[in-house]
Structure 1
Amino acid sequence: MTELQVQQTTAHWPNVQEMPFWLEKAIAWGQTDTPHTWKDISLHLKRLRDFLQQLLTEISSVSSTTETLNRLPLLGQLLGRLCWNSHVTAEGASRGLLLQCLLALYSEHPSNAVEGKANQWIQKVLCHLATDEEDGAAVVLMKHLAVPTKEYHLNVLKKMVTRIQESIGNSRCSVSSTNKGCSCGSVWAASEACVPLITCPEASPLIGALLQQQMTCIREGLSENFLGALHSAYSRCDLLLDEQAVVSLWYQSLPSLEEAVLNLLASATAAGSTPSQVEEQVSKSLLPKACAQHCSVFLVVNDIFRTVLKQTERNERVKNVFQTFTKCFFMELSRLQPQPSASLKAFFPQSPPSLLIPLFTMPSEMPQESLKNHLMWVSSSLQRLTEEEEDDEDSDSGNIRGNHKVFEAWFLLVQCAYWVHVAVQLLVTSGPEDCGPLLWLLTFYHHPTNRWHHRASQLVQAKAAWDHLYSLFSTVAHPLPADHLQSFISLLAPKPQQPSLAPSLTLNLLVNFATFGQLPQSTSAEITQKVVHQSGLQDEAARVLSSLRLRLNDRGSFANDRVHLRIEELHNTIKKQM
Structure 2
Amino acid sequence: MAQDSEDLVSDYQFWLQKLSVWEQASSKETQQDTCLYLSRFQEFLRRMYEILKEMDSDAILERFPTVGQLLAKTCWNPLILAHDESQKILIWCLCCLMNKVPRTPGESELNSWIRGLLSYVLSAFRFDMKEVGLFTKSLGFEPIDYYPSLLKNMVLSLVSELRESHLNGLNTQSRMAPEHIMSLSQVCVPLVTLPDFEPLVEALLTYHGHEPQEVLSPEFFEAANEAFLSKKIILSTSSVVSLWFRHFPSLEKATLHLFEKLFSSKRNCLRGMECCIKESLLLKFALKTYFPYGAPSLTAALSQHPEAIPQGHRLQPLLHISQLLREAIEDSTHGSQRGPFESWFLFVHFGGWVDLAMEQLLRKEAEPPAGLLWLLVFYYSPQDGSQQRERSMVALKELLNRLLMLLGSGPLSAVDLQEAAESPSPPICAQLVRCLLLSLLLWTPEGHASAREAITRMVHTDAAAHEIVGFLDQTLFRSDHLCDEASRKLARELLQELQAQV
TM-score (norm 2): 0.82
- Using a 3 Å threshold, how does the CA distance of structure 1 residues 112 and 168 change in structure 2: closer, same or farther? farther
- Superposition map of 1:1-150 within 5 A: 13-62=6-55, 64-111=56-103, 115-132=107-124, 139-143=130-134, 145-146=136-137
**How far 1:140 sits from its partner (Å)?**
3.5
In the alignment, what sits opposite 2:268?
273
SS in 2 for 1:473: helix
Q: Whole-Å Cα distance in 1 between the matches of residues 20 and 479 of structure 2?
A: 79
Distance 2:127 2:486 in 1: 77
Residue 159 and residue 116 in structure 1: after superposition, are their counterparts in 2 closer, same or farther (change >3 A)?
farther
CA contact (8 A) 2:271 2:477 kept: yes
After the TM superposition, which of the residue ranges 197-206 and 266-275 deviates more from structure 2?
266-275
Q: Offset at 1:446?
A: 0.8
Paired residue type of 1:207? V
* 2: CA distance, partners of 1:425 / 1:210: 51
Is it true that 1:284 corresponds to 2:275 in the alignment? no
One of 448, 451, 455 as aligned partner of 1:532:
455
Between the aligned partners of 2:494 and 2:135, the Cα distance in structure 1 is 80
Give CA-to-partner distance per residue, 1:258-301, whole Å, 9 cap, x none: 33322322332347732333233323332223x24xxxxxxxxx
Whole-angstrom CA distance in 2 between matches of 1:37 and 1:535: 86
Q: CA 1:234–1:538 in structure 2 vs 1: closer, same or farther (change >3 Å)?
A: closer
What residue identity is the alignment partner of 2:420?
F
How far the C-alpha of 1:356 sits from its partner, in A, is 2.1
Kindly provide the CA deviation profile for residues 96-146 of structure 1, in whole angstroms up to 9, marking residues without a partner as x.
Answer: 32222223333322355665444233223223324459999x634434544
Alignment partner of 2:186 out of 185, 192, 195: 192
User: Alpha-carbon deviation of 1:467?
Assistant: 0.5
Correspondence for 1:380: 323
Q: Within 5 A, what are the aligned runs for 1:369-448?
A: 369-384=312-327, 399-401=334-336, 403-429=337-363, 431=365, 433-448=367-382
- Show the counterpart of 2:396: 462
Aligned with 1:565 (options 461, 486, 495): 486
How far apart are the structure 2 equivalents of 1:538 and 1:73? 74
Partner of 2:428 in structure 1? Answer: 501
Q: What's the counterpart of residue 300 of structure 1? A: none
Distance 1:24 1:40, change over 3 A: same
Judged with a 3 Å threshold, the aligned counterparts in structure 2 of structure 1 residues 548 and 45 are, in CA distance, closer, same or farther, namely: same
Structure 1 letter corresponding to 2:101: H
Structure 1 counterpart of 2:7, which letter? P
Q: CA deviation at 1:52?
A: 2.0
SS in 1 for 2:166: coil
Question: 2:395 touches 2:426 (CA, 8 Å); kept in 1?
Answer: no
Q: Which residue of 2 aligns with 1:489?
A: 421
Distance 2:85 2:400 in 1: 80
Take 1:481 and 1:38, find their aligned partners in 2: how far apart are those partners?
Answer: 95
Contact 2:227–2:233 (8 Å) recurs in 1? no
The question of whether the paired residues in 2 share the 8 Å contact of 1:178 and 1:219 is answered with no
Give 1:416 deviation, angstroms.
Answer: 1.9
Change (3 A) 1:246 1:461: same
CA distance in 2, matches of 1:91, 1:538: 65
Q: Displacement of 1:216 after TM fit?
A: 3.3
The one-letter code of the counterpart of 1:171 is: S
Report the RMSD for the aligned CA atoms in angstroms: 3.8
Q: Deviations over 1:124-174 (max 9, x none)?
A: 3223324459999x6344345447777666565445434433332332386
Distance (Å, rounded) in 2 between the aligned partners of 1:459 and 1:131: 68
Q: Do the aligned partners of 1:360 and 1:416 also contact (CA within 8 Å) in 2? A: yes
Report how far residue 438 of structure 1 moved: 1.0
1:14 alignment partner, SS class: helix
Conservation of the 8 A alpha-carbon contact between 1:66 and 1:114? no
Change (3 A) 1:162 1:485: closer
Secondary structure of the corresponding residue to residue 429 of structure 1: coil
- Cα pair 1:352 1:405 within 8 Å, conserved: no
Distance of aligned partners of 1:370 and 1:102 in 2 relative to their CA distance in 1, 3 Å threshold:
same
Q: Distance in 2 between matches of 1:32 and 1:483?
A: 95
Cα 1:92–1:440 change in 2 (3 A) is closer
Alpha-carbon distance in 1 for matches of 2:211, 2:383: 46
Name the SS of the counterpart of 1:548 in structure 2: helix
Q: Work out the CA distance in 2 between the residues paired with 1:210 and 1:121.
A: 23
Q: 1:55 to 1:490 in 2, by over 3 A?
A: same
CA drift at 1:488: 1.8
- State the shift of 1:242 in Å: 3.0
- Counterpart CA distance in 2 for 1:513 and 1:361 is 26
1:218 alignment partner AA: P
Q: Per the alignment, in what secondary structure is the counterpart of residue 208 of structure 2?
A: coil
- Deviation digits for residues 485-515 of structure 1 (CA, Å, limit 9, x no counterpart): 35423249xxxxx964334323333344345
- 1:220-299 → structure 2 map (5 Å cutoff): 221-234=215-228, 239-244=232-237, 245-270=239-264, 273-289=268-284, 291-292=285-286
2:303/2:350 contact within 8 Å kept:
yes
Q: Which amino acid aligns with 1:400?
A: G
Structure 2 unaligned residues grouped into runs of 5+: none
Whether the 8 Å contact between 1:100 and 1:167 is mirrored in structure 2 is: no
Q: 1:385 to 1:489 in 2, by over 3 A?
A: same
In structure 2, give the amino acid aligned to 1:509: L
Aligned residues: 490
Q: Closer, same or farther in 2 for the Cα pair 1:225/1:450, shift >3 Å?
A: closer
Of 380-389 and 417-426, deviating more is: 380-389
Give 1:551 shift. 0.7
For 2:203, the equivalent position in structure 1 comes to 209
Distance 1:267 1:157, change over 3 A: same
Counterpart secondary structure, 1:171? helix
State the partner residue of 1:315: none
* 1:545 to 2:451 alignment: no
- CA 1:524–1:104 in 2, change beyond 3 Å: closer, same or farther? same
- Structure 1's 131 and 530: CA in aligned 2 closer, same or farther, altered over 3 A? closer
Preserved contact between residue 142 and residue 152 of structure 1 (Cα < 8 Å)? no
Percent of paired sites with the same residue: 26
Q: Equivalents in 2 of 1:417, 1:89: separation in Å? A: 59
